[in-house]
Structures are given as C-alpha cells and as structure tokens.
Structure 1
Amino acid sequence: MFGFLKPDPVKKLRKIYDKKLEQGMHAQRNGDIKGYAMLTAEAEAIWKEIETLQNKSN
C-alpha cells in the first residue's frame, strides 16, 4: 500500500556507480592508473548488482 515510501535501491546504487566512475575519471586524468583501475572495477561490481536487482524486479 505504501510502496512509494520505500527507497529505491537501484536509484541509490546508480548514484554510487556514477560517483565511482567520476572518481575514476579524475584519477585517470591525474595519472593514477592503478587507482583508476580499482575504481572502475568497483563500479563494474556495482553495475552487476544493479542489473541483478533490475532482473529480479522484472
């Protein structure tokens, strides 16, 4: 009945995903390739979790 009051976990994960990609971009621009690789790997793991949640809801 009050489903609209529940926070959307996909929306929250997308914000985290976008932030990780942006941090990775800045790390790459600053020459920190190792940091870029770590942040990109974390972002990919978050993306897989987003896809899992979306497939579960459909």
Structure 2
Amino acid sequence: MSTRFTLTRRYLRAHVWLHRQCDRLSPKWQKRIVFGLRIVYSSAPGVSRGFNGR
C-alpha cells in the first residue's frame, strides 16, 4: 500500500467524520469551524491559492 493512498484514505475518513460532527452543530459553530480550517489550509506550505493553482 503506497503512502499516498494511505494519506488519501486518512484524509477522506477525517473529512467524513468532520462532516458528520458539523451536522450536529449550530450554524454559528459550523461557520467558525469552516473559517478556522480555511486559515489552516491557506497558511499550509505548498498550498496553491486560486482556482487555477496560480
């Protein structure tokens, strides 16, 4: 099993888990979590900005 496959699988499982947890939260807390994740992903090294990877 490749490392990329393992990381993809873990990411997808975490994504599904987070989605289920967010369904239980109020809209206010959902917005807070989405905003927080946006900050984390935008500050991560190697993450391209923009839709075309520019």
Taking structure 2 as the reference length, the TM-score comes to 0.46
Taking structure 1 as the reference length, the TM-score comes to 0.44
